[in-house]
């Protein structure tokens, strides 16, 4: 919901929540102190004990306070604050109106943003610094009288600082600041503030980040915010203003976003009209095929996936309430839920992905409208082709677009990954969501999962990517996948005894692993060996693909499969059989399992002219060996998430010869 469009009547405790929150934000009650007793609060506010208790319950749920039985209700430190979600912003909006509200947000920014500036100075990649510089340059050229341009440039700069630190900052910190910015800039900003003075402060922040001087970055950011605050206090009648939108993007220009305007997929549109009586917008998000770099993403490593030409489509139209109604062929019954439900529960089915994405988007500060949704997909489920990510990204994109919001693709990928980690309970890395948001036609995407720097690598036209589905469904969530991740974390903990404070297996070289192998149990050692060697393979494979060295690439695929089979132990008999059969066909450069493992698909790099023979031979031989008929199909890397103009949904796996 857009701030200011309150739809239901506030309850008594909402007002108490707002007033207590205000006393915390304004520093009247500080972190570590306790709130007055229940009885005192009853008298102070002239309301019942129930209303006070309810208010405290709400504030606890937001992480602002913690009720302790003996010592009263303690105000928590900013690090715990989850408060800047849609609900609290709304309360604050209602109670403080205009300037007061904005000033309260400034208090919050004064607490948090300097720390983010420090992180940006410590960790920004060259690309992020360049993005930030662009935003700063836009400020320099903005005319002080051009209210809109000034505000937009200012917002871009601050969002740029956050983007430069946000991979490494804990989620709620980013959440809080982003929400503060969005809400703050929604409120008021006057172009007659001393714009030149503001630019000068921004320049100091910029320079400290560029020169990697964290302490200077902190000081400069503090000074900047303090100036901002003074200017506002001196401006008694700030006016309301429509929010500009953040545009910082880490993707190379032109990669993500809409690919057209009107929807022409008659069947989907017609079904939607029959169900909901409205004409929808249609959005599409692709699945992913990973060429190499398996189980490296959650180890801060490297991956080289492509966006598939198989996708999930979301047809959507807004509702006037805050409910989301979903129809899908994946289930016979419809699902619905309320965006205002405070703590939605997991249903242990596919709808958790939708619920999770909506929840995380809202917590991140994207206020969503209610929606009617119709979902369809031709990404086979449980085949290791990123069907969950395609669903999450399609839903996330559709829900934000439906609410009039534009989202940075990296943020979208990150929110979708969080939904899967925090709500669905699968501790996946970011690869699938990232390539669904940032892949490109005929290209693979090389991604550094630590910095989120990416580059596109063209697929050599002499070769084809052929997918062979073993038809063995993998079951990843909550089971072996999470155990593998734990093994890797154990490896990091044990190795850090010798190597000092390392963060992830990314920080360990093959030589270091061998040197300190004695610290690790055999199984942990082998898990680590896979990840460390796989990272090296991805770097070599990306170079080989760029140079057109298809044989080298194929060899690396073979090594990757052996490592996944022997060391990481995520293959299965059917995958091994499929790979072996593929390698016996002439014209095959390489073959390996793809995705999480335990079933699903193999990816094969095959000479263009050999594809037909390959499909026939492997299909027959696999059927002879296992009694299962495989699905074999060629994949042409597709486009990132976007609006759909026309589409043809294939039935997955029907291209078997
Ligand atoms: C699943 C996860 C990814 C990645 C792969 C293994 O697809 O969603 O994040 O970890 O497994 O490479």
Q: Quick one: 446 exposed, middle or buried, by C-beta within 10 A (0-12, 13-18, 19+)?
A: buried
pLDDT at 445 over 90: yes
What distance in Å separates the CA atoms of residue 633 and residue 631, rounded to the nearest whole number? 7
Are residues 398 and 540 located together in one domain of the fold? Answer: no
Quickly state the pLDDT bin for 169 (edges 50, 70, 90): very low
Residue 85 lies in a domain: no
Q: What angle do CA 568, 571, 573 make, to 5 degrees?
A: 140
- The domain of 224 spans 93-234
What distance in Å separates the CA atoms of residue 257 and residue 408, rounded to the nearest whole number? 9
Centre of ligand 1 from the C-alpha of residue 340, in Å: 31
Are residues 66 and 97 located together in one domain of the fold? Answer: no
pLDDT at 186 over 90: no
Residue 465 lies in a domain: no
What distance in Å separates the CA atoms of residue 402 and residue 390, rounded to the nearest whole number? 18
pLDDT at 232 over 90: no
Are residues 52 and 195 located together in one domain of the fold? Answer: no
φ, ψ of residue 528 to 5 degrees: the values are -65, -40
The domain that holds 205 is classified in CATH as 1.20.120.530
Centre of ligand 1 from the C-alpha of residue 650, in Å: 24
Are residues 275 and 327 located together in one domain of the fold? Answer: yes
Asked if residue 302 has its Cβ within 6 Å of ligand 1, the reply is: no
Highest mean pLDDT (candidates 374-378, 417-421, 525-529): 525-529
The domain that holds 389 is classified in CATH as 3.30.230.10
The domain that holds 18 is classified in CATH as 1.10.10.10
Backbone region of residue 107 per phi and psi (left: phi > 0; alpha: psi in -120 to 50; beta: other values): alpha
Residue 9 lies in a domain: no
Are residues 219 and 293 located together in one domain of the fold? Answer: no
Are residues 617 and 531 located together in one domain of the fold? Answer: yes
Mean per-residue pLDDT of the chain: 81
Pocket test for ligand 1, best of 596, 597, 601 (most atoms within 8 A of CB): 596
**% of the chain residues with pLDDT over 90:** 47
Q: For ligand 1, what atom is nearest to the CA of residue 429?
A: 9
| Predicted pLDDT at 113 | 76
φ, ψ of residue 284 to 5 degrees: the values are -135, 135
Kindly report which listed range (161-170, 399-408, 496-505, 536-545) carries the lowest average pLDDT score. Answer: 161-170
Q: What is the pLDDT of residues 573-600, one digit of tens each?
A: 999 999 999 999 999 999 999 999 999 9
Query: In this structure, which residue's CA is closest to atom 11 in ligand 1?
Result: 596
**Number of folded domains that form the chain:** 4
| Predicted pLDDT at 1 | 27
Asked if residue 399 has its Cβ within 6 Å of ligand 1, the reply is: no
Are residues 61 and 134 located together in one domain of the fold? Answer: no
| Predicted pLDDT at 84 | 47
Are residues 487 and 599 located together in one domain of the fold? Answer: yes
Query: In this structure, which residue's CA is closest to atom 1 in ligand 1?
Result: 596
| Predicted pLDDT at 265 | 60
| Predicted pLDDT at 115 | 78
Asked if residue 599 has its Cβ within 6 Å of ligand 1, the reply is: no
Pick from 636, 364, 595: which is nearest to 469 by CA? 595
Residue 644 lies in a domain: no
Q: What mean pLDDT do residues 540-564 have? A: 98
| Predicted pLDDT at 579 | 98
Pick from 128, 167, 642, 206: which is nearest to 418 by CA? 167
Kindly report which listed range (22-31, 232-241, 588-597) carries the lowest average pLDDT score. Answer: 232-241
Are residues 329 and 394 located together in one domain of the fold? Answer: yes
Are residues 109 and 64 located together in one domain of the fold? Answer: no
Quickly state the pLDDT bin for 240 (edges 50, 70, 90): very low
Quickly state the pLDDT bin for 645 (edges 50, 70, 90): low
Q: What mean pLDDT do residues 647-652 have? A: 46
Asked if residue 438 has its Cβ within 6 Å of ligand 1, the reply is: no
Kindly report which listed range (118-132, 441-455, 478-492) carries the lowest average pLDDT score. Answer: 118-132
Task: Provide the annotated active-site residues.
Answer: 432
Q: For ligand 1, what atom is nearest to the CA of residue 296?
A: 12
Outline where 340-449 has alpha helix (H).
351-363, 387-402, 409-418, 431-438
What distance in Å separates the CA atoms of residue 301 and residue 426, rounded to the nearest whole number? 19
pLDDT at 237 over 60: no
Residue 538 lies in a domain: yes
Whether the predicted model's global pTM rises above the 0.85 cut = no
Quickly state the pLDDT bin for 25 (edges 50, 70, 90): low
Are residues 212 and 320 located together in one domain of the fold? Answer: no
Q: What mean pLDDT do residues 167-189 have? A: 46
Quickly state the pLDDT bin for 191 (edges 50, 70, 90): very low
Centre of ligand 1 from the C-alpha of residue 429, in Å: 6
pLDDT at 496 over 80: yes
| Predicted pLDDT at 85 | 45
Quickly state the pLDDT bin for 466 (edges 50, 70, 90): very high
Centre of ligand 1 from the C-alpha of residue 290, in Å: 9
Asked if residue 439 has its Cβ within 6 Å of ligand 1, the reply is: no
Residue 6 lies in a domain: no
Asked if residue 216 has its Cβ within 6 Å of ligand 1, the reply is: no
Residue 36 lies in a domain: yes
| Predicted pLDDT at 612 | 95
> b/e map of 455-475 (b: 16 or more CB within 10 Å)?
ebbebbeebbbbbbbbbbebe
pLDDT at 133 over 90: no
Are residues 611 and 559 located together in one domain of the fold? Answer: yes
Residue 242 lies in a domain: no
Asked if residue 428 has its Cβ within 6 Å of ligand 1, the reply is: yes
Centre of ligand 1 from the C-alpha of residue 205, in Å: 37
Q: What mean pLDDT do residues 347-369 have? A: 90
Q: What is the pLDDT of residues 251-283, one digit of tens each?
A: 222 222 222 222 236 678 778 888 898 878 889
Helix or strand (DSSP H, E) at 507: none
| Predicted pLDDT at 449 | 95
Q: For ligand 1, what atom is nearest to the CA of residue 426?
A: 8
What distance in Å separates the CA atoms of residue 455 and residue 446, rounded to the nearest whole number? 5
Q: For ligand 1, what atom is nearest to the CA of residue 298?
A: 10
């Amino acid at each position: 919901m857009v701030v200011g469009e309150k739809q239901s009547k506030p309850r008594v405790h909402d007002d108490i929540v707002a007033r207590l929150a205000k006393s915390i934000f304004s520093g009247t009650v500080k972190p570590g102190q306790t709130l007055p007793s229940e009885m005192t609060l009853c008298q102070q506010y002239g309301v019942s004990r129930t209303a006070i208790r309810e208010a405290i319950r709400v504030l606890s749920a937001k992480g602002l306070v913690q009720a302790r039985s003996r010592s009263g209700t303690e105000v928590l430190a900013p690090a715990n604050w989850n408060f800047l979600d849609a609900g609290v912003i709304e309360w604050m909006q209602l109670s403080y109106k205009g300037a007061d509200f904005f000033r309260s947000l400034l208090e919050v920014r004064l607490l948090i943003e300097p720390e983010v500036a420090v992180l940006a100075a410590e960790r920004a990649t060259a690309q992020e610094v360049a993005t930030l510089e662009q935003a700063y340059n836009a400020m320099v050229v903005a005319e002080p009288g051009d209210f809109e341009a000034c505000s937009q440039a200012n917002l871009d700069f601050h969002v740029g600082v956050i983007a430069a630190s946000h991979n490494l900052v804990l989620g709620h910190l980013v959440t809080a600041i982003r929400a503060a910015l969005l809400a703050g800039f929604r409120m008021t900003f006057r172009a007659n503030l001393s714009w030149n003075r503001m630019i000068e402060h921004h320049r100091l922040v910029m320079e400290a980040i560029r020169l990697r001087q964290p302490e200077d970055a902190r000081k400069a950011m503090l000074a900047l915010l303090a100036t901002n605050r003074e200017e506002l206090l001196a401006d008694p009648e700030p006016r309301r203003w429509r929010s500009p939108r953040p545009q910082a993007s880490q993707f190379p220009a032109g990669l993500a976003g809409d690919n057209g305007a009107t929807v022409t997929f008659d069947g989907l549109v017609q079904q939607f009209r029959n169900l909901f009586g409205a004409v929808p917008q249609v959005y599409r998000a692709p699945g992913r095929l990973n060429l190499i770099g398996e189980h490296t993403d959650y180890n801060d490593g490297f991956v080289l996936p492509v966006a598939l030409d198989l996708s999930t489509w979301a047809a959507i139209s807004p509702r006037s309430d805050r409910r989301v109604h979903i129809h899908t062929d994946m289930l016979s019954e419809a699902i619905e839920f309320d965006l205002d439900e405070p703590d939605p529960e997991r249903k242990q089915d596919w709808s958790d992905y939708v619920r999770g994405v909506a929840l995380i988007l809202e917590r991140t500060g994207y206020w969503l409208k209610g929606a009617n949704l119709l979902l369809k997909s031709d990404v086979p489920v449980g085949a290791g082709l990123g069907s969950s990510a395609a669903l999450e990204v399609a839903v996330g994109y559709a829900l934000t677009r439906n609410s009039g919001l534009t989202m940075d693709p990296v943020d979208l990928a990150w929110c979708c990954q969080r939904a899967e980690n925090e709500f669905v309970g699968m501790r996946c890395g970011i690869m699938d969501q990232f390539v669904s948001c940032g892949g490109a036609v005929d290209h693979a995407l090389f991604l550094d999962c630590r910095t989120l720097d990416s580059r596109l690598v063209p697929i050599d036209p002499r070769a084809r990517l052929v997918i062979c589905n073993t038809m063995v469904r993998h079951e990843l969530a909550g089971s072996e996948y999470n155990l593998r991740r734990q093994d890797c974390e154990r490896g990091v903990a044990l190795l850090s005894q010798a190597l000092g404070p390392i963060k992830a297996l990314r920080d360990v070289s093959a030589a270091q692993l061998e040197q300190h192998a004695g610290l690790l149990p055999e199984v942990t050692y082998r898990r680590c060996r896979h990840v460390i060697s796989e990272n090296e393979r991805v770097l070599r494979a990306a170079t080989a693909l760029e140079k057109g060295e298809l044989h080298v690439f194929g060899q690396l695929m073979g090594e990757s499969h052996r490592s996944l089979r022997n060391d990481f132990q995520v293959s299965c008999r059917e995958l091994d059989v499929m790979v072996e059969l593929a390698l016996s066909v002439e014209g095959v450069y390489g073959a390996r399992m793809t995705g999480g493992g335990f079933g699903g698909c193999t990816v094969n790099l095959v000479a263009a002219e050999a594809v037909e023979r390959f499909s026939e031979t492997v299909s027959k031989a696999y059927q002879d060996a296992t009694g299962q008929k495989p699905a074999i199909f060629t994949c042409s890397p597709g486009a990132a998430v976007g609006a759909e103009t026309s589409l043809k949904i294939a039935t997955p796996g029907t291209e078997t010869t």
